[in-house]
Amino acid sequence: MKTKVAIIGSGNIGTDLMIKIIRLSESLEMSVLVGIDPDSDGLARAKRMDITTTHEGIDGLLKMPEWKDIKIVFDATSAKAHVYNWNKIKAFPDKKMIDLTPAAIGPYLVPPVNFLDNMDVPNVNMVTCGGQATIPMVAAVNRVAKVHYGEIVASIASKSAGPGTRANIDEFTETTAAAIEKVGGAERGKAIIVLNPAEPPLVMRDTVFTLSEQADREKIKASIHEMVLEVQKYVPGYQLHQEVQFDDIPESDPVFIEGLGLRHGLKTTVLLKVVGAGHYLPEYAGNLDIMTSAARATAERIVG
């Protein structure tokens, strides 16, 4: 029997996640799509697909008869709205929350890196699109050589950055940087997001820089390739854009890292691109696709 789920947020992310669950999931059943705009395209699409909806937000969901059978709730709203939603839902111990906002009330979760550490937590946070794309690479290096510093640059098509993304830019950089440290294993993390206005829109590109202890470069490269395969299990459009690159930072010419001081070692550069599956969003919106795919993968692992 499939596990019933609800999605709060009828925008691009919530609607794409709904379609992924309906089309792809063998263990999850879409129960209710929740919004606040009765005229949103997401709610209209859900109705056409015979999915129950409410435009009264979390308060409307709690009044619905479907609520008692729902076991997992995805939050695809905003960091501020998530605080309100979680304060309502945490009173129900039989429900789990998967947070796709940068609110980070619960622990950060990147499925191939730390799912087993958080499988029983009532509220998990999916970090950010940049975090989902890049933290696996930082972790892949860190499991071979201790990472002193991890820096990521996420470049996404301006057209794929909706009002929620634009309103949460500060939270994006802070949450991603913190997760580079807590999940990726870096002593220090930094995140940068670039909204690319190019026409036609370009797919998501991510650059990952790590400075680690010296280690066997072939082992690091193999670890990165293995991690790419793990992410591809739920995000088929995730791929290395170029082969992994290495540079020595000699002890005689160290670099200064804020908070750490002078460091030397091995610099690893990983260049990625993420092509969306095109379920609801265009293929160039890989940044949104990796978030919804990671959230679905997390829910499916929770229910076994």
Q: What is the CATH number of the domain that holds 8?
A: 3.40.50.720
Domain count, the chain: 2
Residue 115 in domain: no
HEC string of 46-104 equals: HHHCCCEEECCHHHHHHCCHHHHHEEEEEECCCHHHHHHHHHHHCCCCCCEEEECCCCC
Claim to verify: residue 30 and residue 134 sit in the same structural domain = no
Claim to verify: residue 268 and residue 157 sit in the same structural domain = yes
Q: Which domain holds residue 78?
A: 3-101
Claim to verify: residue 76 and residue 224 sit in the same structural domain = no
Claim to verify: residue 258 and residue 135 sit in the same structural domain = yes
Active-site hit among 5, 129, 156, 186: 129
Claim to verify: residue 222 and residue 164 sit in the same structural domain = yes
Claim to verify: residue 164 and residue 272 sit in the same structural domain = yes
Claim to verify: residue 151 and residue 217 sit in the same structural domain = yes
Claim to verify: residue 169 and residue 258 sit in the same structural domain = yes
Claim to verify: residue 154 and residue 267 sit in the same structural domain = yes
Asked if 34 and 9 count as a contact pair (C-beta separation under 8 A), the reply is yes
Residue 40 in domain: yes
Claim to verify: residue 85 and residue 198 sit in the same structural domain = no
Burial class (CB in 10 A: 0-12, 13-18, 19+), 120: exposed
Q: pLDDT tens, position by position, for the chain (304 residues)?
A: 999 999 999 999 999 999 999 999 999 999 999 999 999 999 999 999 999 999 999 999 999 999 999 999 999 998 899 999 999 999 999 999 999 998 899 999 999 999 999 999 999 999 999 999 999 999 999 999 999 999 999 999 999 987 777 877 888 899 999 999 999 999 999 999 999 999 999 999 999 999 999 999 999 999 999 999 999 999 999 999 999 999 999 999 999 999 999 999 999 999 999 999 999 999 999 999 999 999 999 999 999 8
Q: How many CB atoms lie within 10 A of CB 94?
A: 8
Asked if 121 and 106 count as a contact pair (C-beta separation under 8 A), the reply is yes
Claim to verify: residue 136 and residue 258 sit in the same structural domain = yes
Residue 109 in domain: no
Tell me if residue 262 is catalytic. Answer: no
Residue 297 in domain: no
Claim to verify: residue 140 and residue 264 sit in the same structural domain = yes
The domain that holds 176 is classified in CATH as 3.30.360.10
